[in-house]
Amino acid sequence: METNREKITANGVSINIFNNDGNTDFISLTDIAKYKNKSESNVIIQNWLRLRSTIEFLALWESINNPDFNNEAADQFMNESGGNAFVLSPKKWIESTGAIGISSKPGRGGGTYAQSDIAFNFASWISPSFHLYVITDYQRLKQDESNKLNLDWNLNRNLSKINYRFHTDAIKNNLIDTNTPKRLAGYTYANEADRLNMIVFGMTASEWRENNKKIKGNIRDNADINQLLILANLESFNAQLIREGISDEERTLKLIDMAKSQLKGIDDRHLLE
């Protein structure tokens, strides 16, 4: 039974949220999709669901959070994805896999809702800049509701950890040959991680450790909320560029441009103060 209904506003778009158990927020994908197309929000959601990268993300989230998730059904959808005739609706995904991360609500105030991590992924696909507005106003809402000082940081750290998994999967499947020795493969993972570290923090992970020997945790554990948010976006974007076969040099330039754009948005609007 629904216990709480709230609303955020992202760049002028009103987005509904409901909460069933006092812990898990479900954000309206239907409302988020209206930023792209007010009259065809369901089509926008289905286009997102058709993507193999989306199905992989949803399957990973469910595998972590849902012990009853049907991985075989998800694998079948992944195999079918990319075909011209492939269509996947929220209802079909839920009924076929037993998914709990997406909810289809009928009637007034209904539509497609998703757990916050999934909703943020959808918002990022809609528009990286709009994603900033969504996550920022959601964080403002959480700050208003709670006195827990570390809520926003934990939110973005968890998002970064999920995106890190997809980042490493993209590296494994596209940059590392099956015959590559394990030690050399490790260098590839580290180099890609440090590509992002240099852009966000201005130093590699080993340089940070050398300069902060008395501080617990690693470079990402000690990042601020703005750095974590941008890092999560860059991980997702870099994974996409790797899958597309973009060269190292071009990827670096695109990632730098994205980071600068998001930093400018934060500075101009004081989004995450």
Q: What is this structure's pTM?
A: 0.56
Q: Which of 82-96, 97-111, 136-150 has the lowest mean pLDDT?
A: 136-150
From residue 97, alpha-carbon distances to 55, 109, 229 in Å are 11, 25, 30
pLDDT of residue 176: 82
Spatial CA neighbour of 128 closest among 257, 42, 30: 257
Say if residue 223's pLDDT is above 50.
Answer: yes
More reliable by pLDDT, 117 or 105 = 117
Say if residue 43's pLDDT is above 90.
Answer: yes
Mean of the per-residue pLDDT values of the chain: 85
DSSP 179: T
Q: Which of 39-43, 162-166, 269-273 has the lowest mean pLDDT?
A: 269-273
Say if residue 21's pLDDT is above 80.
Answer: no
Say if residue 157's pLDDT is above 90.
Answer: no
Which tens digit of pLDDT belongs to each residue from 246-265?
999 999 999 999 999 888 76
Integer Cα distance of 19 and 4 in angstroms: 5
Bridge partners of residue 28, in order along the sequence: 113
Say if residue 272's pLDDT is above 70.
Answer: no
